[in-house]
Amino acid sequence: MLAVRPEAETFGRVLREVRLKRGLSQQALAERCGSNIPYISELERGLKAPTLTMILRLAGALECKVRDLMRVFDTAPPDSFLQ
């Protein structure tokens, strides 16, 4: 079983919020960014952390800026996600 990592869980929550705001299903997002539904699901549940390449692809697919997906990390103490 995969362990949830705090930074991945936080990213996943933001990803899901942005996806739902855009009215996209996980399938539609997966198709737009060249991925698959299980991977998008794992990202949203914090089971996987995306690579930089995937963050760029997700931002493109969601028609948003990378900072829209990453802004939540600007206000957190730098070590709050390190274990």
Identify the CATH number of the domain in which residue 19 sits: 1.10.260.40
pTM of the model: 0.90
Residue 31 half-sphere exposure toward CB, CA atoms < 13 A: 5
Which tens digit of pLDDT belongs to each residue from 10-25? Answer: 999 999 999 999 999 9
Domain that holds residue 35: 6-74
Residue 80 lies in a domain: no
> Domain tally for the chain?
1
Residue 81 lies in a domain: no
With respect to residue 82, please indicate whether it lies within any of the assigned structural domains: no
Model confidence pLDDT, tens digit, residues 17-50: 999 999 999 999 999 999 999 999 999 999 999 9
With a CB cutoff of 8 Å and minimum separation 6, the contacts of 8 are: 43, 46, 47, 48, 49
